[in-house]
A and B are shown apart, each in its own frame.
Chain A
């Protein structure tokens, strides 16, 4: 049985079909879960995809954390379930307190849609488990608020606990410590600004995101077996 991935849909989310298609390409089964639902319908993993949940009103991710589905997401994460937030999903996870820090406006004060090089700096997370430490991945970014920021104590902790999973090789947005993605302590919750689903088919220029999505599907499958 293939791993079941719940892909959340808030009003304003727009990458849900792309994530679902990329997961299915890799043999996963995906299930779109609307933000008003209160159950993840037994999903093995959850992806909060990119977009503009609730129109980015107030602050990116600030309203989405109040959507009914987020209680089930927090429960899933607390139980060790794999949870990945991509781009706006990362912003939502920080607002929901599932990951530390915040994402602020790019240093250039412009929206950036470009393919950048990221280095895998930790393989201790559900997203990077199958990647090679130190390997470089060409991944598209697509954001206005993508500069990671946190206080010094948090940064020290992230470094000490090996929780910075991806770093930009050439920092495009002013992100603190070149951070492109981080994990929680247990490694089951990951947020990243680059879009692995946009790098999942050579026809589109890069399939470097496959190793990340495959890691996530692997973690989901492990969980399905354990359950």
Chain B
């Protein structure tokens, strides 16, 4: 047995314990210590990231709810509101991939419907180690199965996402999940407690021993050998319970029967109950004896910190309790009064009898703390230091070595086919066909395109949604990585003709106690902020996941963003990427020799140094506006963003999409290889009917965006003169077989 003091076992440092003692004016009880341990964990308190996150721009006239609530919300017009949230479930997925991924889906759905919004779409950006490694393959297949099993059954379609493969995720996959919800603006609610005397009603599952210490133990510490021992900290999901919880809670809120509802997530009942009371400047008494339990002999600490899934706390005025319980009955849902809102500002946990008649014996008080103190944890400005090896990394530009390997005149066809079959680029159909991506009849452009396009129910308008994460750039230069990922997601949204309106981010990083990681974090947030400001996109919510490391090695900084755009008209599907014969191909933007962090250099040739592409933020803004207008007005016949794999992959994907070839000539001034595979940012390829070519050129000139006619569509081969000549069918084969070829090998 360890002789470690209790506070350290709960993840609290010695100075944090001293703070608690000073705050309470006495030594904390074990339960109090456990509650602070959870609430002051990195996962719940953002204690290392808070000072940096203040930098992000969060305001715009159309933002209805910014960061800090269950979800961010924007005004979508016509009295509608769209709620958006993103989260990580990385560590649980590393320990138990199916349940980890499943409960990640469950948690984010609860965050969204706690705002009164019906969840209508999910997206899942996923990052794994190389799929030829059996462990990574196991994690990948079971994470996808968990998302499929839970998301499909709970009845929220998964409409997109991303799969990225990289060495640093071998022991620590990233499982991020985004949820979008829809509400009438007048139906929006916030987690508030109303007034003293209101009742706290616990809805949904009984409370068990699953997930105890999830926030403090799993999410806020690194992994070492033997992480299986942490398996009891992973929760088990029940999508059927969640489905009934969604229906019941949305009914409660729509009928005005609940003042507010709050999800029980990390930190369980302690977190939810203290937060909803503190948000309203009130207090709460919780009676731990009234919490329905899954198993006997649970301690009060277990009950208060359990992270059992599919539970919500509703605040209900006493006269409406019967109506609330009858809705629970309709949906076969448990509903138990577990607490009462008080005017004291204290969060108390009692054992029995919070509503005991006067004169009865006073109940046992297990905890009695200022309600706000749990959510008002320490804030750290941790040391941040640019690592010395960063210079050497930047100096290792792959262009020299690749230039020697592929002199002018080399056949780059095999290089293109190799790129098309890498998991990051290859067709993800194997993944998204396991997800119901059509429920609710909103999916106009499903998974696999630049961005997903949904109709905005009840209108003739639409929503566009893209998630992106690009770890290789952030590793080379985290500030550039932060900028580039915002640009990429916004560019993808522009390719559907939508105007970007909001961004959510999920910041996946290593151990914040490492100065290099804090430097990466600071730089990334700076870069994202610069890009969001330049593009006028407010950040309406986010999530920070630290301690993504295994065996002492931090993951590469992996900021993931979700960008939401609005389409003014959606009477027909946007033009899409597929080519048709007889069109001119126009490259919008500027290509430079920028191979640092490119998919070609890093994945195909193992050259992972150099500098990431330079990002001219104003040029990006002009490009996005131009592309948005050209697509929305249907001036172009096809459109596709240039990103992983460069313009050669963009052209190949367009050719595959339309089953039509093209002949193009590389621009002068670059080697054929650099032109094909460079990942210069802010570029888009459009296919244009010859009759519209002058118009497109004029529009581009007016927008000050370089437009170069690079070739013409037609035939059954993709030809880049002097570089490659491949049959579209062969390209399609490489692209389609890439992923199934890796996962279906047993």
A interface with B by C-beta (< 8 Å): 11-12, 14-15, 17-18, 21-22, 34, 36, 51-52, 54-57, 110-114, 140, 142, 144, 195, 197-198, 200-201, 203-205
Contacts and interface: CB of A to CB of B under 8 A. Distances in A.
Nearest to B460: A203
Given A52-B153, A112-B433, A203-B573, A11 B244 contact: yes
Interface string B407-439: 000000000000000000000000011111111
A15 B433 contact: no
Interface of B: 145, 148-149, 152-153, 155, 238-241, 243-244, 247, 330-332, 432-441, 443-444, 455, 570-573
Given A52-B239, A203-B572, A11 B439 contact: no
A144 B440 CA distance: 19
Given A18-B441, A51-B155, A204-B441, A11 B434 contact: no
A125 to B, nearest CB: 24
Given A55-B238, A56-B153, A111-B152, A17 B571 contact: no
Nearest to A11: B244
A11 B441 contact: no
For A17, A56, A204, the residue with the greatest tally of chain B CB atoms inside 10 Å of its CB is A204
Contacts of A22: 441
B438 A113 contact: yes
For B330, B435, B439, B441, the residue with the greatest tally of chain A CB atoms inside 10 Å of its CB is B441
Given A11-B247, A55-B239, A113-B437, 10 more contacts: A15-B439, A55-B238, A55-B240, A110-B145, A110-B433, A111-B433, A142-B439, A201-B441, A203-B572, A205-B573
A144 B571 CA distance: 33
A11 B438 contact: no
Contact of B155 (A52, A144, A200): A52
B241 to A, nearest CB: 8
B309 to A, nearest CB: 14
Given A113-B435, A142-B436, A204-B441, A14 B243 contact: yes
A140 B433 CA distance: 11
A112 B434 contact: yes
B571 A203 contact: yes
A25 to B, nearest CB: 10
Interface residue SS majority, chain A: mixed
B240 A52 contact: yes
A15 B156 CA distance: 11
Nearest to A140: B438
B330 to A, nearest CB: 8
A111 B148 contact: yes
Contacts of B247: 11
Contact of B243 (A36, A52, A112): A52
A113 B160 CA distance: 13
A17 B149 CA distance: 21
B153 A55 contact: yes
Nearest to B333: A11
A11 B436 contact: no
Given A198-B441, A204-B444, A113 B240 contact: no
B434 A204 contact: no
Nearest to A56: B153
10 contacts: A11-B240, A11-B243, A11-B332, A14-B243, A18-B439, A55-B153, A111-B433, A113-B436, A203-B572, A205-B573
Contacts of B440: 17-18
A6 to B, nearest CB: 18
Contacts of A56: 153, 240
A195 B438 CA distance: 10
Contacts of B571: 203
Nearest to A19: B441
A197 to B, nearest CB: 7
Nearest to B443: A204
Contacts of A197: 441
Contact of B570 (A11, A14, A203, A205): A203
Contacts of B330: 34, 36
A56 B332 CA distance: 15
B441 A21 contact: yes
